[in-house]
Amino acid sequence: MHNFNLPPLSLYLHIPWCVQKCFYCDFNSHELKEAIPYKKYLQHLLADLDNDIRLISGRTVNTIFIGGGTPSLFSAKAIQSLISGISKRLTLIPNAEITIEVNPGTIDTDKLVGYKEAGINRISIGLQSLKQENLSCLGRIHSAKDAHTAAQLVASLGICSFNIDLMHSLPYQSLSGALDDLSKVIALEPQHLSWYELTIEPNTFFGSRPPVLPDDDTIWDIYQHGIRMINAAGYRQYEISSYAKEGFQCSHNLNYWRFGDYIGIGCGAYGKLSQPNGTILRTVKTNHPRGYIQGNYVAKLYQVSLNDLPFEYFLNRFRLLEVMPRLEFTEFTGIDEKVIRPALNQALLLGYITENDTHWQITNKGKWFLNSLLELFL
């Protein structure tokens, strides 16, 4: 074992409810059958946090992300009491990035202003598309008009930076259809754009009834043309599906991808917490709200084995287009670079990465063959 540095720390909170499950979604979300037990769930979130605080040895938190599900089903008041409960328990850096995911159709001016007062300074809007036929086909509950209105509302309030999630290569989508969707989203001028291809996951509605997707050539054309449009609009790609205006990269997600630590609170949330002795713990929380609300928070708590660490490190690191400081591998895993030298040499030989005295960098070929690159570290 070598010198071990504790990486930066983030906090993720999961709100598991949705009005309706989308056809492509394999996240831990549960359709609303009755009223959400807001108060009860908030109490349990904070109790879950109290439980995990012993694993972070007094460290400061840099970012908070409230994800779901549909967190924007929660009122401004509920989010205010959540954030004030967190602030009593944790030390946040000044101006910490605090993000909430919202869905069109679940927000209005009052709610957004209330979120801002609660300390939220970044909003992520799950649009997925601005075209009605696409939204219906994905099982989204909002209309194209809702989507447009919500994005305009967030932009006009100017309360914070915002991200728009947009999917491409949707069922029956043509090149011109995908680019039209993208240009409409760019016109809304979000500071950050998550633009990603629809993938069919098992255990989803689409997994059991696969739709007709565009062929590989069309998907390639959508990607190539789309990237050019995004660049021309002043966004820079910094991760496989993330694009930002200067200074607006998502700090929370960057921390995941750089192998930082994060506390995972709420149903089905994952956590990764490095310990001062060099071990790395993973936590997995109870999936279903029923069990969680009974106070059974932890489904799994285990130590990552040394054999798995190189793969876990590069699994996220190689998603980023930035150069990677070679020293960080040892600092954040405690493993000597010699151990992964054979895999690195193979990656260099295949042209997946480049290397100099201080850094590694993924190449375009490495991006296209990311899975093959990662397999070298298994």
CATH of the domain at 161: 3.20.20.70
Token pair of 190 as six digits: 């979000």
236 and 360 in a single domain? The answer is no
229 and 344 in a single domain? The answer is no
Identify the CA nearest to 72 among candidates 41, 40, 131, 114. 114
Q: Are strands 92-102 and 61-68 parallel, antiparallel or unpaired?
A: parallel
Q: Is residue 214 in a domain?
A: yes
Q: Is residue 17 in a domain?
A: yes
CB atoms within 10 A of CB 262: 24
Q: Is residue 228 in a domain?
A: yes
At position 103, the amino acid (one-letter code) is N
What pLDDT does residue 1 have? 43
At position 87, the amino acid (one-letter code) is S
What pLDDT does residue 4 have? 65
Q: What is the DSSP letter of 110?
A: H
Q: Is residue 18 in a domain?
A: yes
What pLDDT does residue 28 have? 74
pLDDT digit of tens for each residue in the chain (378 aa)? 445 689 999 999 999 988 788 888 877 787 776 778 889 999 999 999 999 999 998 999 999 999 998 999 999 999 999 999 999 999 999 999 999 999 998 999 999 999 999 999 999 999 999 999 999 889 888 888 998 999 999 999 887 899 999 999 999 999 999 999 999 999 999 999 999 999 989 888 998 888 989 999 999 999 999 999 999 999 999 998 999 999 999 999 999 999 999 999 999 999 999 999 989 999 999 999 999 999 999 999 999 999 999 999 999 999 999 999 999 999 999 999 999 999 999 999 999 999 999 999 999 999 889 999 999 998
Identify the CA nearest to 281 among candidates 18, 39, 56. 56
**Edge-to-edge strand list for the sheet holding 192-197:** 236-239, 242-244, 192-197, 161-168, 122-128, 92-102, 61-68, 9-15, 261-266, 270-274, 280-285, 298-303
Q: Report the domain count for the chain.
A: 2
What's the CA gap between 106 and 203, in Å, rounded? 26
Token pair of 346 as six digits: 């193979």
What pLDDT does residue 96 have? 97
Please give the model's pTM, rounded to 2 decimal places. 0.94
Q: Is residue 287 in a domain?
A: no
Token pair of 196 as six digits: 């990603």
Residues 6 or more apart in contact with residue 72 via CB below 8 angstroms? 100, 101, 102, 103, 106, 107, 111
What pLDDT does residue 2 have? 45
What's the CA gap between 360 and 343, in Å, rounded? 13
Residue in the structure block whose two tokens are 């042209």: 351
56 and 200 in a single domain? The answer is yes
110 and 212 in a single domain? The answer is yes
- Residue finishing a domain among 197, 221, 255: 255
Token pair of 273 as six digits: 């917490």
DSSP per-residue codes, 6-60: PPPEEEEEEE-EESS--TT--SS-EE-SS---HHHHHHHHHHHHHHHGGGSTTPP
Residue in the structure block whose two tokens are 């439980």: 51
Q: Is residue 310 in a domain?
A: no
Identify the CA nearest to 67 among candidates 55, 84, 59, 79. 79
Distance of CA 92 to the CA centre of its chain: 20
CB atoms within 10 A of CB 45: 23
Tell me the residue range of the domain where 356 lies: 322-378
